[in-house]
Amino acid sequence: MTKKPYYITTPIYYSSGNFHLGHCYTTVICDAIARFKRMDGFDVFYLTGTDEHGQKVQQRAEKAGVTPKKFVDDLYEQIVALWKTLDISYDKFIRTTDSYHELTVQKVYEKLLASGDIYKSEYEGLYCTPCEAFWTESQLVDGKCPDCGREVIKQKEESYFFRLSKYQDRLIKFYEQNPEFISPKSRMNEMINNFIKPGLKDLCISRTTFDWGVKLPFDQKHVAYVWVDALTNYITALGYLQPDHANFDKYWPADLHMVGKEIVRFHTIIWPALLMALDLPLPKKVYGHGWLLFGNDKMSKSKGNIVDPFFLVDRYGVDPIRYFLLREIPFGSDGSYTNEALLVRTNADLVNDLGNLVSRTTAMITQYFGGEIPSPNTYTDLDKELISLCEQTLSKVRTDMDNLSAPDALTDIFRIIQRANKYIDETAPWTLNKNGDKDRLATVMYVLAECIRFAATLLKPFITKTSNIIFEKLGIASPDNFKGIAKFGGTVAGTKVNKGENLFNRIDVNKELKELDEIAEKQNKQTKADEKTADELIDINDFAKVKLVTAKVLSCEKVAKSDKLLVFKLQVGDEIRQVVSGIAQHYSPEYMVGKTVVLVKNLKPAKIRGVESNGMILCCDDDGKVVFVSPEKEVACGKVVR
């Protein structure tokens, strides 16, 4: 039987570095969905990647003193390491600097030009560089970018435009016919009221103010707008407009684009309109999840509250982190991370419920049956209650996952675990053993082993490593589908269990919180020290911005009504410059005439006491005494100083 394709994507991540736990949220959720769908018989294609072009990357690379390519290569390594640490099972990783992607973006622009969806004009707007987004005055919040709250700048440039306005009515009709397209529902209303109703304007889709991007094939001065470049990844990764397009034929349209709520508008307005213009089918669903907050704030470097996923995984293991993200955050809404919430959740669910069930059961099978899972005898009503709970859970979890609610799915799976723990107390196996009731004891052990097998199978998409360890303990091969849990009774009697070590160790929450505080304090101190060092150091490119030249003093006078200021006429090559300098208390005008000084040539002109000054004379501050800088030997004026 051919499997049904299922195409799921995360956004492609900005190559900005400092990946935090919030970033992991989208990818871990998609991973759980992808793994669930694979086990449930779908032919899954899970795509993730990196968004590597744009002004922001170019600026950051310049600041770091490396080429943009080197900059994005380093960050690519970081994010691949992060996804490995979190056990992410993507099928493809796309980088927007991959040549097949760049070539296809060019073909997309050509297609849009040919269909008349692109035209050339001039753009003037308010641009937020960090978000790579233009805003209208009315969209700003307190005059700042509504997404990140930072300053916007006025930018004007010759640009190509996409006829977004043309698709307004078709978009509204599409939303009406596909009410599930934008989920959760609240986000649909937000899009319609905030963006569509005020009227869609044509979208500026090229830039000339920087060059780190895909060059437009028909006008090389322009690079593609980073959002068009980025959104197109969802089809270029599948081979769209490429010789091998088998994946595109098979997987497009996407079943699910999972994105954070702040980028829903790009995915539900611009992206479908572009697809309409390309005459392609639209994705089935865009889900806008909430943010992982730290307290009440969004995690971000500038707020200094980022939680390092590498640190957490190293300290607690990958599954407590995956479990926390999937279980604790109400899906669709914002959720809050605190160390305490992570530790309490780990202790309650993983150590107490799951860990105890597995260790108690394997210990009892070892003690009462020499480690072999016994054959069950007649099932009582109590047993049947557990059996039917186990058999019903897959369909419940399937519904939860179709609703994209991992917290509900985990709650349903943990019902088996919690019920089984209660069953141990109700059946009191130690009493059965004492009373020599081996038949009943065997049935109880078998029911428990089966409950664990059901739970571990269902947990596999969520806590991947732990589930595999449980199967090792049960002596059963870890399944890669759900077929084995269609019916209770799949465990073969006689299978040898292996108790081994505890799945999770209990955490002393108060002690641990204290230690974490101490670590955070140390790190903060270190970060501050590092930032101070970074502030003090500039790279060669920064220095090169300052143009220093030698200049000869032609004349020098006191500025009227000022004790401190002298006004100079300087010969700089062929040019004569007027410069005001505050050295009147240290040098007389007569002394200065004929001297050679060093001038900062490219300082913006300024008026000092009403006198125009075009540059600055370099001086040393020798404990309050000012000494002007001069070449050690006679040098002609206008020579570069570096």
327 binds ligand ME8 (CB under 6 A): no
331 binds ligand ME8 (CB under 6 A): no
Beta-carbon contacts of residue 165 (< 8 Å; ≥ 6 apart): 199, 200, 201, 202
Residue closer to ligand ME8, measured from CB, 259 or 420: 259
Q: Do residues 86 and 24 touch, judged by C-beta distance below 8 A? A: yes
What stretch of H or E contains 159? strand 153-162
Q: What stretches of 152-270 show up as alpha helix (H) in DSSP?
A: 168-177, 185-191, 226-231, 233-236, 246-251, 264-265
324 binds ligand ME8 (CB under 6 A): no
- Whose CB is nearest to ligand ME8? 260
CB 196 to ligand ME8: min, Å: 20
Burial class from Cβ neighbours inside 10 Å (0-12, 13-18, 19+) for residue 178 reads middle
291 binds ligand ME8 (CB under 6 A): yes
The correct pick among 6, 11, 102, 251 for binding ligand ME8 (CB under 6 A) is 11
- The pairing of beta strand 548-558 with beta strand 640-641: antiparallel
97 binds ligand ME8 (CB under 6 A): no
Tell me the DSSP string of 402-444: HTT-HHHHHHHHHHHHHHHHHHHHHH-HHHHHHTT-HHHHHHH
The correct pick among 215, 298, 315, 396 for binding ligand ME8 (CB under 6 A) is 298
User: x/- contact string, 260-289, with ligand ME8 (CB under 6 A)?
Assistant: x-xx--------------------------
Stretch that binds ligand ME8, among 7-15, 102-110, 191-199, 485-493 (CB under 6 A): 7-15
14 binds ligand ME8 (CB under 6 A): yes
The correct pick among 6, 7, 25, 462 for binding ligand ME8 (CB under 6 A) is 25
H, E, C per residue of 309-359 = HHHHHHHHCHHHHHHHHHHHCCCCCCEEECHHHHHHHHHHHHHHHHHHHHH
Burial class from Cβ neighbours inside 10 Å (0-12, 13-18, 19+) for residue 378 reads exposed
The correct pick among 6, 26, 75, 222 for binding ligand ME8 (CB under 6 A) is 26
299 binds ligand ME8 (CB under 6 A): yes
Q: Which amino acid is at 382?
A: L
Residue closer to ligand ME8, measured from CB, 291 or 323: 291
Stretch that binds ligand ME8, among 80-88, 292-300, 318-326, 558-566 (CB under 6 A): 292-300
Residue closer to ligand ME8, measured from CB, 132 or 412: 132
CB 13 to ligand ME8: min, Å: 4
Q: Cα(448)–Cα(441) distance, rounded to whole angstroms? A: 11
Residue closer to ligand ME8, measured from CB, 292 or 410: 292
Q: Which amino acid is at 537?
A: L
Query: Which residue in 271, 185, 273, 203 sits closest to 9, CA to CA?
Result: 271
225 binds ligand ME8 (CB under 6 A): no
Residue closer to ligand ME8, measured from CB, 23 or 285: 23
22 binds ligand ME8 (CB under 6 A): yes
- Note the residues at the interface with ligand ME8 (CB under 6 A): 11-14, 22-23, 25-26, 51, 230-231, 259-260, 262-263, 291-292, 298-299
